[in-house]
């Protein structure tokens, strides 16, 4: 237990201790913090207390405006830092608990903090690893007999996204404009997307990278996975439908991707590991790992229109529904020698479960716009309207505590006149 009081319903229990980048109105410098309860522990203030064999030589990583340098120290450094934090925040440890002056400088109330992107994201890859989602989309566009492409059960399909448009929770998202072809008998038209959608996703940050030409073997992949965030990969379905053949998504995806600000360490999630999905056919040897590496993370999507008093929950899903694991994604990404770097972001793809209420996109919830999504009070949607606020939340439920992810929120702004 910690000397910091934490409500049982708080995302940021003593068992969590996620990392983020924050500033305050009276100190605009971006710095590394750890969330506990409704507080943030400023690591730049207590950096001298990290006296382990690795971080004692690199205390300056906690002076940096991103997590990249800390991530780059590697797996043993992350474990060492977590042990130090657990010790300092323990109810039995006096160093922070009894030093009133140090506590007044080291702790910041979350309500006063401004959150920033946790890392300088050099590259961003989005996978397509939910079998339920891939099947649903395949049925819509190709029919039940051809729902999954031949390669889908053999490898974790992915594409390279746009790192420059990844934004932190709370950043408004502008409705994109582009080419669409709503009437297949007529030429394409240009204008604002009329099928703007959400995608319920999660993503992980790469910690230690690899050298160009040297794959990360799957048995070592966990040593390169720093932690996880929530993600909303906003998607313009009508733009995407016209452009995606033959090279995949482009303008339908690259206008905005929102992530939550707190990075939950993998050590905090390990107690919630679940058996991996049964994979048939059996993957090739470089994709095989016997250890459980999917997680029981409850996920929720809510939508609040401009005229709505309360948000409506439109999806309840779970990360455990994923078919391909993060270890498999990273091993596959690098098997050809591709190098990844600290701060790279690898996303799950839309997370859908087997039941309609667990579908992770409005494309599925409205079944390609053929039925309304009921928001209550007479409000319905098939796709997003201007002014809609979408919030993704998620947490693992422990015995009397949570390991939560905070919020991943964005509001739709009208398209620019062009």
Give which of 72, 54, 187 is closest to 122, Cα–Cα: 72
Q: How far apart are CA 103 and CA 33, in angstroms?
A: 14
CB 192 within 8 A of CB 175: yes
CB 345 within 8 A of CB 339: no
pLDDT in tens, 161-201: 999 999 999 999 999 999 999 999 999 999 999 999 999 99
Q: What percent of the chain has pLDDT over 70?
A: 100
CB 320 within 8 A of CB 387: no
Adjacent-strand bridge partners of 202: 230
Give which of 409, 381, 417, 411 is closest to 192, Cα–Cα: 417
In the prediction, which pLDDT does 78 show? 99
* The model's pTM: 0.98
Query: What b-and-e string marks burial along 73-84, b requiring 16 or more CB atoms within 10 Å of the CB?
Result: bbbebbebbbeb
- Band the pLDDT of 416: cuts 50, 70, 90: very high
Give which of 203, 253, 251, 262 is closest to 233, Cα–Cα: 253
Once rounded to an integer, what is the mean pLDDT over residues 112-131? 99
pLDDT in tens, 67-76: 999 999 999 9
Q: How far is CA 186 from CA 176, 181, 189, 237, in A?
A: 22, 7, 9, 18
Once rounded to an integer, what is the mean pLDDT over residues 275-287? 97
Give which of 74, 78, 76, 75 is closest to 32, Cα–Cα: 78
Is residue 133 part of the annotated active site? The answer reads yes
199 annotated binding-site participant: yes
Quote the mean pLDDT of the chain.
98
Once rounded to an integer, what is the mean pLDDT over residues 312-319? 99
In the prediction, which pLDDT does 61 show? 99
One of 58, 109, 116, 133 is an active-site residue; which one? 133
In the prediction, which pLDDT does 418 show? 85
pLDDT in tens, 366-406: 999 999 999 999 999 999 999 999 999 999 999 999 999 99
Rg of the chain in Å (alpha carbons): 22
Look up residue 283 and give its DSSP letter: P
| Residue 86: strand, helix, or coil | helix
240 annotated binding-site participant: yes
In the prediction, which pLDDT does 361 show? 99
CB 72 within 8 A of CB 54: no
In the prediction, which pLDDT does 208 show? 94
In the prediction, which pLDDT does 149 show? 94
CA-angle at 406, arms to 166 and 325, nearest 5°: 65
CB 369 within 8 A of CB 354: no
- Band the pLDDT of 86: cuts 50, 70, 90: very high
For residue 231, give the H/E element and its range: strand 225-232
Give which of 170, 24, 93 is closest to 33, Cα–Cα: 24
CA-angle at 254, arms to 252 and 258, nearest 5°: 110
pLDDT in tens, 223-256: 999 999 999 999 999 999 999 999 889 999 999 9
125 annotated binding-site participant: no
| pLDDT higher than 90, residue 151 | yes
The token duo for 329 is 């994604």
| pLDDT higher than 90, residue 313 | yes
In the prediction, which pLDDT does 30 show? 99
CB 379 within 8 A of CB 305: yes
Q: How far apart are CA 166 and CA 388, in angstroms?
A: 19
128 annotated binding-site participant: yes
66 annotated binding-site participant: no
Q: How far apart are CA 45 and CA 233, in angstroms?
A: 35
135 annotated binding-site participant: no
């Amino acid at each position: 237990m910690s000397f910091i009081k934490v409500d049982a319903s708080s995302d940021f229990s003593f068992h969590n201790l996620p990392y983020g980048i924050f500033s305050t109105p009276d100190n605009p410098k971006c710095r590394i913090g750890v969330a506990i309860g409704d507080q943030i522990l400023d690591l730049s203030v207590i950096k001298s207390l990290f006296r382990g064999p690795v971080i004692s030589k690199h205390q300056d990583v906690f002076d940096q405006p991103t997590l990249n340098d800390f991530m780059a120290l590697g797996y043993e450094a992350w474990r060492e830092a977590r042990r130090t934090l657990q010790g300092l925040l323990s109810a039995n440890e006096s160093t922070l608990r009894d030093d009133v002056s140090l506590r007044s400088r080291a702790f910041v109330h979350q309500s006063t903090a401004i959150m920033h992107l946790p890392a300088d994201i050099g590259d961003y890859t989005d996978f397509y690893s939910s079998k339920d989602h891939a099947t649903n989309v395949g049925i819509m566009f190709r029919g039940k007999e051809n729902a999954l492409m031949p390669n889908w059960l053999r490898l974790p399909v992915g594409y390279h996204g746009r790192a420059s448009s990844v934004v932190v929770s709370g950043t408004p998202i502008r409705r994109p404009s582009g080419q669409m072809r709503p009437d297949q008998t007529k030429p394409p038209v240009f204008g604002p997307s009329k099928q703007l959608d959400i995608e319920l996703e999660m993503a992980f940050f790469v910690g230690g990278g690899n050298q160009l030409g040297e794959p990360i073997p799957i048995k070592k992949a966990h040593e390169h996975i720093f932690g996880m965030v929530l993600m909303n990969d906003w998607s313009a379905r009508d733009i995407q439908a016209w452009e995606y053949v033959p090279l995949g998504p482009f303008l339908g995806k690259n206008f905005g991707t929102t992530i939550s600000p707190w990075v939950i360490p993998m050590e905090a999630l390990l107690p919630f590991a679940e058996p991996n999905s049964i994979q048939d056919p059996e993957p090739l040897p470089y994709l095989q790992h016997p250890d459980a590496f999917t997680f029981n993370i409850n996920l929720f999507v809510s939508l609040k229109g401009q005229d709505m008093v309360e948000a409506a929950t439109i999806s309840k899903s779970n990360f455990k529904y994923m078919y391909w694991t993060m270890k498999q994604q990273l091993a596959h990404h690098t098997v050809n020698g591709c190098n990844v770097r600290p701060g790279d972001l690898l996303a799950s793809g839309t997370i859908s479960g087997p039941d309609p209420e667990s579908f992770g996109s409005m494309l599925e919830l409205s079944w390609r716009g053929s039925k309304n999504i009921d928001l209550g009070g007479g409000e319905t949607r098939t796709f997003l309207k201007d002014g809609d606020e979408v919030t993704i939340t998620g947490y693992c439920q422990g015995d009397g505590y949570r390991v939560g992810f905070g919020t991943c929120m964005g509001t739709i702004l009208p398209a620019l006149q062009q």
